[in-house]
Amino acid sequence: QVQLVQSGAEVKKPGASVKVSCKASGYTFTSYDINWVRQGTGQGLEWMGWMNPYTGNTGFAQKFQGRVTMTRDTSTSTVYMELSSLRSEDTAVYYCARGKEYDTLIAHYLPPAGMDVWGQGTTVTVSS
Amino acid sequence: EIVLTQSPGTLSLSPGERATLSCRASQSISSSYLAWYRQKPGQAPRLLIYGASSRATGIPDRFSGSGSGTDFTLTISRLEPEDFAVYYCQQYGSSPWTFGQGTKVEIK
């Protein structure tokens, strides 16, 4: 079945970096964007950015520009999100979610349809 | 950045009742690129509605979405036990994609 499986919980000190993985299965990995969304404890959802696994293109919310990096490994169908210069406010559950479908034959996106498949979430705790 | 404001903050209803949730945008959302998600405690969100009114795969027809421009509504015709959760609207027509703050549907 279509699923996204994320790496396990992380505990980091302020100023460090964290790298979270998101492994896709059950569909053509390069045909859909992967988005990252985070949720602080008891808080709402916050979109961080996206990656197109086929082209490698990325886009980030301005809030995270310069601190977030997204990469992929097509051989393992995995997308990685790395967040640097961590501070206590980055303590949250980080989710990956499948987004827009990309037609690789015509190099064009289909009309977007929300984020239809989500990973189970990765808890990142930033504490000294 | 498009700000989404959901109302009410909390909705107290009984199973079998109808729920009406509102999502208002600070500016018009292009092509009705508005989605609704349900999130149960300790779980990832689940896509219910996209394109303002299209049900996602596997979503029962008690869920319906409507609206355009800046005003959108999610209606749950008859609340089932699993529907008591938090609901988020999200726009994906303009970067950065943004979410509303959520509406909690609780058992009365």
The tens-digit pLDDT sequence of chain B (108 residues) is: 999 999 999 999 999 999 999 999 999 998 789 999 999 999 999 999 999 999 999 999 999 999 999 999 999 999 999 999 999 999 999 999 999 999 999 999
- Return the pLDDT at B32: 84
Say yes or no for a CB contact (<8 Å) between B95 and A61.
yes
pLDDT for residue A27 is more than 90: yes
Q: Would strands A10-12 and A122-126 be described as parallel, antiparallel, or unpaired?
A: parallel
Q: What's the pLDDT tens digit per position in A67-80?
A: 999 999 999 999 99
- Return the pLDDT at B87: 98
Geometric angle at alpha carbon A119, from A116 and A124, rounded to 5°: 135
Q: Give B-chain residues touching A45 at CB under 8 angstroms.
A: 37, 39, 45, 88, 90, 99, 102
Going across the sheet that includes A3-6, the strands are A3-6, A18-25, A78-83, A68-73
pLDDT for residue A81 is more than 90: yes
Q: What are phi and psi of B32, to 5 degrees?
A: 55, 40
Say yes or no for a CB contact (<8 Å) between B47 and A47.
no
Q: Which residues face B24 on adjacent strands?
A: B5, B71
- Return the pLDDT at A85: 97
What does the radius of gyration of chain B's CA atoms come to, in whole angstroms? 13
Say yes or no for a CB contact (<8 Å) between B101 and A44.
yes
Asked if B39 contacts B86 with a C-beta cutoff of 8 angstroms, the reply is yes
- Return the pLDDT at B5: 98
Chain B residues contacting A via beta carbons under 8 Å: 31, 33, 35, 37, 39, 44-47, 49-51, 54, 56-57, 88, 90, 92, 95-102
- Return the pLDDT at B59: 98
Say yes or no for a CB contact (<8 Å) between B56 and A116.
yes
| Partner-chain residue, chosen from B46, B95, B102, that has the shortest CB–CB distance to A59 | B95
pLDDT for residue A17 is more than 90: yes
**Going by C-beta distance under 8 Å and a sequence separation of 6 or more, which residues neighbour residue B2?**
B25, B26, B27, B29, B91, B93, B94, B98
Q: How far is A65 from chain B (nearest CA, A)?
A: 12
- Which of these, A55, A59, A56, A38, lies nearest to A47 by C-alpha position? A38
Q: How far is B101 from chain A (nearest CA, A)?
A: 6
| Partner-chain residue, chosen from A47, A95, A113, that has the shortest CB–CB distance to B44 | A95
Mean pLDDT of all residues in A19-32: 98
- Probe site for chain A from B89, B97, B98, B103 (most A CB atoms < 10 A): B97
**Going by C-beta distance under 8 Å and a sequence separation of 6 or more, which residues neighbour residue B69?**
B25, B28, B29
